[in-house]
Amino acid sequence: MFKNQPSTYLSIVILFTTLLVEAQKSNLQVEPHPIDAVEKDSLLMGPSVLNDPHRFIWGASVLKGNDEKYHMLYNTWHSGDSIPKFSDSWVLYSEIAYAVSDYPDRDFKFQKIVLKGRKAVGDTLAWDAQVVTNPHLKEFNGTYYLYYVGGRDPGNGPEIVKGQLNKRNRVQQTLRIGVIAFDSFEDLTFGNFRRPQNPLLAPRTRVKADNIVMPSPEGTVALPDNVIVVNPSVVYRETDGKYLMYFKGNLYDPHWRGVHGLALSDHPEGPFTPLDDFVFDFRQQDGRIASAEDPYVWYHKSTARFYAIVKDFSGKITGKEPGLALIISDNGLHWQKAEQPLFMKKQVGLISGETITLNRLERPQLLIDENDVPFVLYAAASIVNINPRTDGKSFNLQIPLKVEHDNMLLKKQ
């Protein structure tokens, strides 16, 4: 038929191939399931919730181990009358704890605190002396990696601080990303892990009009890694063998807004080289980047796409309201909204049929199966405004997920 029309034949082949590739790149659709919990005294309690009456509980990250158990590393610190309010105490006292369960979505039991600021062992000058937070747990090539955020108090001398900052804000402005590596969770509990002396990633610019630690020279243009680098999320890109680390920095115009960047490495332990490009670059009507934080990024082979869940402060990314947004990318650098970008409202359904409105819903982390499909969401939450509280009214949710691709159920409840 195409014997004398090779260009027509070639055009049809190219068109068919293009349509096939685009069909394979259709979106995942993810839906949270109800959880097994009840509300009591402005707190969710039950098998699907991790909480502690004596401690604040916040972000958690989980992997399945070789022992078929599910291992959780989570952010926690003491609560009570002797501890500052939540919005201050997380910066000054956060530690990382270890819990384990036979199930991916319930019944996690505390084991021990596994990582503290290095001042606990007498090193007050270390980059992560004061605080460790933002746990992000990954496994690459048989080794486990805990990516985390740390900071220290640099002091309040005029050669360090432009303006006036209390200790909480001085520590907050030194937050950087680090990693520990370990071969098993048993090793982790015994302290057998590699903890480098230096962070993996630190800000290249420190642009803020006033009240700033170690400011950049006047006229410096702020990069994505401005003032802080926090909220690490690491994923492997098979096309070039690179490890991609997503992070949040802060811009001030004049109030802070969370922006995001990307750093690349050939190895999970770095060194990571940050790019100058902003990622998750969704704009408000005034042209400014919509404020977001807490990305979790993964790659799904069947759709040949990167996916990310982020906390959207304004609803500009979800397209509806503040909550968790789902976004997609073909290359990990340029991102667009998913077909249904509102991943989760600031509420959670209970198996009783009740819906609980949440004041806070953030730090989303996912458990991914062997088919690159997420099947449990872990999220830090509170029903009350947690910022002024000292009574530990925060918790971590373990939410089963239903995921569809091309209208076919990929993971059943």
- pLDDT tens profile 321-365: 999 999 999 999 999 999 999 999 999 999 999 999 999 999 999
What pLDDT is stored for residue 21 in this prediction? Answer: 38
pLDDT of residue 31: 84
CATH number listed for the domain at residues 30-411: 2.115.10.20
* Number of helices followed by number of strands (H, E) in the chain: 4, 27
CB atoms closer than 10 angstroms to residue 277: 13
Q: CB burial class (10 A; 0-12, 13-18, 19+) of residue 25?
A: middle
Up-side HSE of residue 61: CA atoms within 13 Å toward CB?
Answer: 23
Q: Note the pLDDT tens digit of each residue in 351-408.
A: 999 999 999 999 999 999 999 999 999 999 999 999 999 999 999 999 999 887 653 3
**pLDDT given for residue 405 in this prediction:** 64
Contacts of 195 (CB under 8 A, 6+ apart): 178, 180
Alpha-carbon distance 390 to 89, whole Å? 9
The confidence score (pLDDT) of residue 382 equals 98
How high is the pLDDT of residue 241? Answer: 96
- The dihedral built from the CA positions of residue 276, 282, 283 and 284, taken in this order, carries a sign that is negative
Is 92 a residue whose pLDDT tops 50? Answer: yes
Buried b (16+ CB within 10 A) or exposed e, 284-323: eeeeebbbbbbbbbbbbeebebbbbbbbbbeebbbeeebb
Q: How confident is the model at residue 22 (pLDDT cuts 50, 70, 90)?
A: very low
What share of the chain in percent tops pLDDT 90? 87
Residue 42 and residue 383 in contact, taking contact as beta carbons nearer than 8 Å: yes
What average pLDDT score do residues 22-46 get? Answer: 81
**Residues 247-290 pLDDT 10s:** 999 999 989 999 999 999 999 999 999 999 999 999 998 999 99
Checking if the pLDDT of 304 tops 60, the result is yes
Supply the pLDDT for residue 403: 81
Instruction: Let me know how long the chain is.
Output: 413
Residue 27: per-residue pLDDT = 64
pLDDT at 409: 34
Q: Where does the pLDDT of residue 19 fall: very low under 50, low under 70, confident under 90, or very high at 90 and above? A: very low
What is the per-residue pLDDT for 402? 87
Instruction: List the chain domain ranges.
Output: 30-411
pLDDT of residue 406: 52
| pLDDT reported for residue 193 | 97
pLDDT of 15 strictly over 60: no
